[in-house]
Amino acid sequence: MFRFLSILFFLILTELGYAQINDNTPPDLPILDSVSVVNPINGDVRISWFSCDSADVKYYIIYRSISTSWEIIDSVLAPATTYLDTGAAGNFHPELYRLAAQDEMRNRSPMTGVSQYHNTMYVFPYQDSANCQMAIRLNWNKYLNWTEGVQEYLIYFSENYGPWTFLSSVPGNTSVYFHETINDNTSYCYYIRAKSNTGRTSTSNHTCFFTNLPDYPHFINADYASVVSDNRIEVSFTLDTLFNVKKNYKLLRAEGSTGAFIPIANYNNYTSLNLIYYDNVDATKSWYYKLVAVDLCGNYVLSSNIARNINVTVKSNEDATETVIWNTYFNWLGGIEKYNIYRIVDNQLPVLAGTTFIDTVFIDDISLYSTNRTGVSGTFCYYIEAVEGDFNPYNVKGESKSNISCATQFSRVFIPNTFTPNGDMLNAEFMPVVSFVDASKYEFKIFDRWGEKIFETTDPLKGWDGKINGRKVPGGNYVYTLLYTDNSDNKKEKTGYVFLFYP
């Protein structure tokens, strides 16, 4: 009878759940299925797992990594296999989770293995470049510890908060993607979905990026190519300085109209309004310049107008003129307003000799200098100043100077054969008319019929008035000699007779 009552009592306790009072065996370790960010606003995370094999599981204990330690955040009654972590911040960083199972006797399984935790994915966008164009780069942390591994990451996007659309996929060993076909001033939102080799999935946070993409310059104006010296040309450009413009340039130069343009200078992140370059070349030749904007791969995306310097040549003529010839300035966007022709005589200051509006040939009358007899050497130099018209679309008015070209007039000497110093002030003084000789090497003398020197001067502006010591000499023939040096530094001598006549 006692044995029967003992068995009956045990059965009653078992039915009431007290038979396990001496059960010290913990449940089996629960297996995580996946973790996903399910609320894009506050970063809530849903944790999923497989039901534990142990029949006596009462609770599942959820652990989250907090400040480098694993802390219990909650527990749920079996047979639940999901949990929503509303205290998570999956929209700001990855969240890491482990599980444990506990039975009614408070026997608790070990936590998920330290190398078997599951983590949410956190994706973040950056502005970057790919294949020579601006792009949005997405970076995320990989989903870890699926035993079967990650097969691929699926990327979804929304443009201007519209419907979500599949964008692309990348292999499971990749955690970066470049979205290249993007528009400026547009909102793009993204999320990543990891897919395992058995079809399990995990979804990342949502992240958004508003594009304000750097642009390439909208214009480059070649202001001028201007000669500074025989061996130097100054080139100037006006640039687009908008804040969001990509300011990388190359300066190109070509020799002659058919020459190939080659780079001679590079400018990266150039932020000034003007770019000036000095090129040490033979400025008596034509050089062509242009500035190009380059993309991220160095390709040319925009070019300025071409700037070509002016070359001038000068030829002396027997009729006391100079022929000045130059090539047109090439090529201002505002056209050409005029050409100013400047003359330089004996290293004096330049003088404006004339202005033309179309022609590129100018005949300069320098006869005034040929009769001045002030010791002008006969070397005449010229340069051209081109002025841009008023129609430049960027309100630039360029000016370009040519090289300086010189020509030398041949020396001229004319000696009269008679003069009449009778007081009427007409033909009253005998002197050579010289042009373009060296005044410092001038010597003029007069002799009477007996060979006596009666006059002498080294001043080209001084002549003989027919007197000796203030007294008139008799009429008749007198001998003169003239020694001078021409503008080619050749010594010359002229001798002859002059007839003094009193009407």
The yes-or-no verdict on residue 6 having pLDDT over 70 is no
Please state, in angstroms and rounded to a whole number, the distance separating the CA atoms of residues 284 and 236: 19
pLDDT(481) > 80: yes
The 8-class DSSP code of residue 247 comes to: -
**In whole numbers, what is the pLDDT of the chain averaged over residues?**
91
pLDDT value at 303 more than 90: yes
Whether residue 324 sits in one domain with residue 268: no
* pTM, full prediction: 0.66
226 and 297 together in one domain: yes
Both 463 and 449 in one domain: the answer is yes
- Helix, strand, coil abundance in the chain, percent, nearest 5: 5, 50, 45
| Neighbour count for residue 342 (Cβ, 10 Å) | 19
How many CB atoms are located within 10 Å of the residue 361 CB?
A: 9
* Residue 17 counted as domain residue: no
Does 11 fall in a domain? no
Over residues 219-243, the mean pLDDT reads: 96
Both 291 and 317 in a single domain?
A: no
Domain end among 408, 435, 452: 408
227 and 300 in a single domain? The answer is yes
CATH number at residue 266: 2.60.40.10
- Give mean pLDDT, residues 208-222: 91
Q: Quick one: 58 and 93 in the same domain?
A: yes
Q: Do 378 and 422 sit in the same domain of this protein?
A: no
Handedness of CA 69, 71, 73, 76 (dihedral sign): positive
Per-residue pLDDT at 503: 79
Query: pLDDT tens digits, residue range 393-420?
Result: 999 999 999 999 999 988 888 899 999 9
The reply to whether 303 and 327 lie within a common domain is no
pLDDT of the residue at 9: 40
Q: Does residue 10 form part of some domain?
A: no
Write out the residue range of the structural domain in which residue 50 sits.
25-119
371: pLDDT confidence band, cut at 50, 70 and 90? low
Q: Residue 24 has what pLDDT?
A: 85
Q: Mean pLDDT throughout 92-106?
A: 95
403 and 416 assigned to the same domain? no
Q: pLDDT by residue (tens digit) across 324-370?
A: 999 999 999 999 999 999 999 988 899 999 999 989 999 999 988 87
Whether 215 is in a domain gets the answer no
> For residue 376, is it within any domain?
yes
How many whole angstroms separate alpha carbon 435 and alpha carbon 44?
102
In 17-68, the DSSP E strands lie at: 32-37, 45-49, 57-66
pLDDT(132) > 90: no
- For the cut 60, the answer to whether the pLDDT of residue 462 exceeds it is yes
CB burial class (10 A; 0-12, 13-18, 19+) of residue 260? exposed
pLDDT per position as a tens digit, 133-180: 889 999 999 999 999 999 999 999 999 999 999 999 999 999 999 999
Per-residue pLDDT tens for 304-328?
A: 999 999 999 999 998 899 999 999 9
Nearest Cα to Cα of residue 270 among 253, 294, 247, 291:
247
303 & 316 share domain: no
The answer to whether 247 and 270 have CB atoms below 8 angstroms apart is: yes
pLDDT per residue over 55-98, tens digit each? 889 999 999 999 989 999 999 999 999 999 999 999 999 999 99
Q: Give the confidence band of 375 by pLDDT, cuts at 50, 70, 90.
A: low
pLDDT band at residue 373 under the 50/70/90 scheme: low
* Model pLDDT, residue 4: 37
In a domain, 334, yes or no: yes
Q: Is the pLDDT of residue 7 over 50?
A: no
Domain boundary among 81, 102, 119: 119
pLDDT of residue 480: 96
Residue 196, pLDDT above cutoff 70: yes
In a domain, 6, yes or no: no
Is the pLDDT at 385 greater than 50, yes or no? yes
Q: Percent of the chain, pLDDT > 70? A: 94
Q: State mean pLDDT over 427-445.
A: 89
pLDDT of amino acid 342 = 98
pLDDT at residue 276 is higher than 70 = yes
Beta strands in 111-218 (DSSP E): 118-119, 123-130, 133-140, 150-159, 165-171, 176-179, 187-196, 201-203, 207-210
Res 12 pLDDT > 70: no
Single out the residue in 308, 323, 343 at which a domain terminates: 308
Q: Are residues 226 and 206 part of one domain?
A: no
Q: How confident is the model at residue 423 (pLDDT cuts 50, 70, 90)?
A: confident
Does pLDDT of 22 surpass 80? no
* pLDDT of 435: 85
Q: What is the DSSP letter of 478?
A: E
Eight-class DSSP state of 14: H
Q: How far apart are CA 61 and CA 79, in angstroms?
A: 12
Whether 234 and 278 share a structural domain: yes
DSSP 8-state code for residue 29: P
Number of domains comprising the chain: 5
- Residue 99 covered by a domain: yes
Question: What local confidence, expressed as pLDDT, does residue 376 receive?
Answer: 74
Q: Are 302 and 246 in contact (CB under 8 A)?
A: no
- Direct distance between the N- and C-terminal alpha carbons of the chain, in angstroms, rounded to an integer: 189
